[in-house]
Copies of this chain bind each other. A is one copy, B any other.
Amino acid sequence: MTDAAPLKALLSEDEIPTHWYNIVADLPSPPPPHLHPGTREPLTPEDLAPLFPPGMIEQELSTERWIEIPEEVRDIYRLWRPSPFHRALRLEQALGTTARIYYKYEGASPVGSHKTNSAVPQAYFNKLAGRTRLTTETGAGQWGSALAFASQIYGLTCDIWQVRSSFESKPYRHALMETFGATCYPSPSDITEAGRALRERFPDTTGSLGMAISEAVEAAGKDPDASYSLGSVLNHVALHQTVIGQEVLKQLPMLGESQIDYLFACAGGGSNLAGISFPIIRENLAGRQSTKIVACEPQAAPSLTQGEYRYDFGDTEGTTPLLKMYTLGADFVPDPVHAGGLRYHAMAPLVSFCKHEGLMDAVAIGQREAFEAGVLFARAEGIVPASESNHAIAGAFRQARQATAEGSSPVIVIGVSGSGQLDLPAYTEYLSGQMSDG
């Protein structure tokens, strides 16, 4: 077991990236623009003004390679960043693999996931624009709790509509939102017109992300001091997450490696995958790395592996701009798998474009395989991964087993996007043999 080399690469706070990386500047061709749903013309800054503050609109449409991270945002990142990068030596031994496995862990953030990387700048730029209130929707609650945390940092009111079934079955998550000072409503609620109408039409509904979006958008639209905020899919969210991959590139040589052969990250809306992979795609394009990047999506929502690449809406109600994405259709409702963060009908436009251009691959993973991998990971490394992250771990295990069979020793990096402490009932379900394969 003893190994002279350290297991963890720790960076100091002054090594937190100073800029977010915008992959648009380096893509072989410009990605297809977002379209206005009425005119089908490319979206203008003015089109986005009712929804987002100027800082976010600028970032959403930017083609600049590097966008400076405001000092006020880096100052909050310092509470938990840089995040650690680990050699998974005990995991390698448990697998009996010849591969060398590393993981980047985002679970030590205030809410236990990467989501705060984007929630903090979104709250900051809203504050800068004079907004006093943010509204959003959340499913399992990772994004909602991140925005709750970020809102109270900048003194903003935060109202969150959480899918009713999750609100009721995951009380720890809305307790976290409330601890950070947000108000969390089970959706559909009776405090919006959309919510009341939905409750009348579907009295027994357990809610859906589409319904919750409708409520959060309506609430922001009726309040000139409020903005609506989104935790994935859009370009500016992917941008914020690139602190993850930039840190990985600094940490890799600290553990004695220079090349990443394979990178596995889970993908729902795509923000975590974009965050860890885009800085590495930049290295690939410049010939400094030749990393095979593999998006690990759930079998229950296999947009990259089974979807069509076309313009579609981001929500089920058809109210958002049209985005060019791999999509299963805006009305596709994934099975209720535990990885709530991966239950999305489509994939972020920038991730979709990268996949379409051959800059990354994708696999779909069933949730039993994901949790089998998660349990093995927890027992070896002492970290219980988030349900979502288990998909990336399972993808990496497939590769590690292949390497062992071939007798090769590739460097495999896993993006572990979050902690599974609040997903523990799903582990019980898996261990008792009652989990469906989703």
Q: Which residues of A contact B (CB under 8 A)?
A: 1-2, 6-8, 10, 12-14, 71-72, 75-76, 78-80, 90, 108-110, 112, 116, 149, 152, 171-172, 175-176, 178-181, 375, 378-379, 381-384, 419, 421-422, 424-425, 427-428, 431
> With the chains together, A221 CA to B180 CA distance in Å?
47
> Contact partner of A108 among B71, B108, B178, CB < 8 A?
B108
Selected A-B contacts with CB under 8 Å, 12 pairs = A6-B14, A7-B79, A10-B12, A79-B381, A171-B424, A172-B422, A172-B425, A175-B427, A178-B431, A179-B378, A179-B424, A179-B431
> Contact partner of A375 among B179, B422, B428, B431, CB < 8 A?
B179
Query: Which residues of B have CB within 8 Å of A171?
Result: 424-425, 428
- Smallest beta-carbon distance A122→chain B, Å: 16
Query: Which residues of B have CB within 8 Å of A179?
Result: 375, 378-379, 384, 424, 427-428, 431
> With the chains together, A71 CA to B78 CA distance in Å?
32
B383 close to A110 (CB less than 8 A)? yes
Nearest chain B residue, comparing its CB with the CB of A426: B175
Nearest 9 interchain pairs by C-beta: A110-B382, A175-B424, A175-B428, A172-B424, A79-B382, A179-B427, A421-B421, A6-B13, A10-B10
Query: Which residues of B have CB within 8 Å of A172?
Result: 172, 421-422, 424-425
Nearest chain B residue, comparing its CB with the CB of A108: B108
Q: Contacts A109-B382, A175-B425, A425-B171; is A13 near B8 (CB within 8 Å)?
A: yes
Query: Which residues of B have CB within 8 Å of A79?
Result: 7, 90, 381-382
Nearest chain B residue, comparing its CB with the CB of A10: B10
B379 close to A152 (CB less than 8 A)? yes
> With the chains together, A8 CA to B108 CA distance in Å?
14
> With the chains together, A249 CA to B151 CA distance in Å?
35
> With the chains together, A52 CA to B116 CA distance in Å?
46
Beyond A171-B424, A176-B424, 7 additional contacts (C-beta under 8 Å) are A1-B72, A2-B72, A6-B13, A172-B172, A172-B424, A179-B428, A419-B421
Query: Which residues of B have CB within 8 Å of A8?
Result: 13, 78
Query: Which residues of B have CB within 8 Å of A379?
Result: 152, 179-181
- Smallest beta-carbon distance A76→chain B, Å: 8
- Smallest beta-carbon distance A123→chain B, Å: 13
> With the chains together, A2 CA to B77 CA distance in Å?
12
Query: Which residues of B have CB within 8 Å of A76?
Result: 382
Nearest chain B residue, comparing its CB with the CB of A375: B179
Most buried by B among A7, A10, A181, A382: A382
Query: Which residues of B have CB within 8 Å of A14?
Result: 6
A378 close to B424 (CB less than 8 A)? no
> With the chains together, A175 CA to B371 CA distance in Å?
13
Most buried by B among A6, A14, A76, A178: A178
> Contact partner of A75 among B1, B109, B175, B176, CB < 8 A?
B1
B12 close to A6 (CB less than 8 A)? yes
A180 close to B378 (CB less than 8 A)? yes
Query: Which residues of B have CB within 8 Å of A149?
Result: 382
Most buried by B among A14, A109, A175: A175
- Smallest beta-carbon distance A255→chain B, Å: 11
Query: Which residues of B have CB within 8 Å of A382?
Result: 76, 79-80, 109-110, 116, 149
Query: Which residues of B have CB within 8 Å of A180?
Result: 378-379
Nearest chain B residue, comparing its CB with the CB of A8: B13
Query: Which residues of B have CB within 8 Å of A424?
Result: 171-172, 175-176, 179, 422
Query: Which residues of B have CB within 8 Å of A71?
Result: 2
> With the chains together, A283 CA to B112 CA distance in Å?
36
Q: Contacts A8-B13, A78-B7, A79-B382; is A422 near B425 (CB within 8 Å)?
A: no
Query: Which residues of B have CB within 8 Å of A422?
Result: 172, 421, 424
> Contact partner of A178 among B2, B12, B427, CB < 8 A?
B427
- Smallest beta-carbon distance A13→chain B, Å: 5
Nearest chain B residue, comparing its CB with the CB of A88: B79
Query: Which residues of B have CB within 8 Å of A431?
Result: 178-179
